[in-house]
Amino acid sequence: MRNVFNFSAGPAMLPAEVLQQVQKELLDWRGIGASIMEISHRSQDFIDVAQTAENDLREILDIPVYYKVLFCQGGARAQFAAVPMNLLKNKDLSVDYINSGYWSYHAANEAKKYCNPHIVDVTTVVNDLYKIQPMRDWSLSDDSFYIHYCPNETIEGLSIDEDPNFKTSIVIGDFSSTLLSRPLNISKFGIIYAAAQKNIGLSGLTVVIVREDLLGSYCREVPSILNYQLLANNKSMFNTPPTFSWYIAGLVFKWLKKRGGLVVMNKHNKNKASLLYSTIDKSGFYFNNISPENRSLMNVPFRLINSKLEDMFLKEALDAGLYALKGHRLVGGIRASLYNAMPLKGVQTLVEFMNWFSDKYG
Ligand SMILES: *Cc1c(COP(=O)(O)O)cnc(C)c1O
């Protein structure tokens, strides 16, 4: 057994049961005498794995039949380019990019290569706390063809949980660090995408859920490997897909179903996050500067009031078996990522450590 809790923001920890299963069947997958990594993506064996993964994901997220599920490559960053290229046959259409932090900003920046995005800042500071304006106050264009936003800013720990309800029905979400953490009303979106290395599995795979009527309006220059229509026609096997990552995602989906699905997962995630936030809030030693309604359940950044103690905190945390708590290099401080695979015990251990540390140095 591993006796370390891994708080990495991504690639992030996987459920122990999934790793154990991988280990068990690594050398000889289902008695074929080879590993899953070594077989053709065109073999019936792999096609079964791929299709089962898609079916399980559809069931877990309750994805309507008029959506395609694509298993893509290139990470979420490739989708920053793929989205405008797949939707903007006409590059003059107005598009709105909501800027709520690092990832949504970079999505907008990449889109500038393909269109002229209208960037909408939605973060405000109220009583020293960062807060996202409610959606009804977002200053969108009158004739917005699509709206792109990021419901969970992984670095800042800012989350937008409202269901979108805009004039345009083409709402696009970068769900990289929050997909599968809670139930989601897919039908509110035109496209949902998520890099797998946070809450789905391994890097190398990006899940894209796209409404069928949006296929086919791509611009001429879109690379074939990013063309949703082409990928959908080829069941995401236009070229060799990341087979091992796809297989792992499938195991994670089975694990999620066994755990009771997203309603149970959401409860579990809320319990973990509220334990950590309440410890921070009542400590007088640690602080988090996000307004409560926008606090992320997945990524919890915090600081020590005496920031000089942060290096010591990280060092002693590591000695206590608490791994990867260092904040993103751009914002510093501490960040604990609490994706689905993080057990409550991990957060309890972190909180005990935090209380011990603040008693010692406070
Ligand atoms: C991690 C992350 C990305 C970047 O994903 P890559 O796979 O590295 O391209 C983009 N958006 C969000 C919200 C993320 O959390």
The alpha carbon dihedral of 334, 335, 338, 339 has a sign of negative
Which of 73, 110, 154, when mutated, tests ligand 1's pocket best, judged by the most ligand atoms within 8 Å of its CB?
Answer: 154
- Check pLDDT > 70 for residue 51: yes
With cut-offs at 50, 70 and 90, classify the pLDDT of residue 228: very high
- Check pLDDT > 80 for residue 279: yes
User: What 8-state DSSP symbol labels residue 328?
Assistant: P
- Check pLDDT > 90 for residue 257: yes
Using one digit for the tens of pLDDT, what is the confidence trace for 289-318?
Answer: 999 999 999 999 999 999 999 999 999 999
Domain boundaries, the chain: 17-259, 261-361
CA of 310 relative to ligand 1 center, distance in Å: 26
Tracing tokens 């309440």 back to the chain, one arrives at: 278
With cut-offs at 50, 70 and 90, classify the pLDDT of residue 360: very high
- Check pLDDT > 80 for residue 265: yes
Report the distance separating Cα 184 and Cα 263, nearest Å: 10
- Check pLDDT > 80 for residue 138: yes
* 76 CA: nearest ligand 1 atom: 9
- Check pLDDT > 90 for residue 1: no
Look at strands 171-174 and 146-149 and give their pairing.
parallel
Using one digit for the tens of pLDDT, what is the confidence trace for 63-116?
Answer: 999 999 999 999 999 999 999 999 999 999 999 999 999 999 999 999 999 999
Instruction: For residue 311, indicate whether it is catalytic.
Output: no
* 174 CA: nearest ligand 1 atom: 13
- Check pLDDT > 90 for residue 8: yes
- Catalytic residue from among 174, 246, 255, 272: 174
- Over residues 134-145, mean pLDDT: 96
Instruction: For residue 198, indicate whether it is catalytic.
Output: yes
Report the distance separating Cα 148 and Cα 189, nearest Å: 10
- Over residues 255-273, mean pLDDT: 98
The token pair at 175 is: 């769900």
Using one digit for the tens of pLDDT, what is the confidence trace for 185-204?
Answer: 999 999 999 999 999 999 99
Instruction: For residue 272, indicate whether it is catalytic.
Output: no
Q: Whose CA is nearest to atom 1 of ligand 1?
A: 176
Cα angle 234, 62, 194; round to 5:
60
Give the CATH fold of the 261-361 domain: Aspartate Aminotransferase, domain 1 (3.90.1150)
- pLDDT for the residue numbered 151: 98
Tracing tokens 């990524």 back to the chain, one arrives at: 299
Using alpha carbons, list the distances in angstroms from residue 362 to 93, 306, 357: 56, 9, 8
Pocket, ligand 1, Cβ cutoff 6 A: 10, 75-77, 103, 150, 154, 174, 176-177, 195, 198
The alpha carbon dihedral of 17, 250, 64, 170 has a sign of positive
17-259 domain in CATH 3.65.10.10? no
Report the distance separating Cα 170 and Cα 190, nearest Å: 5
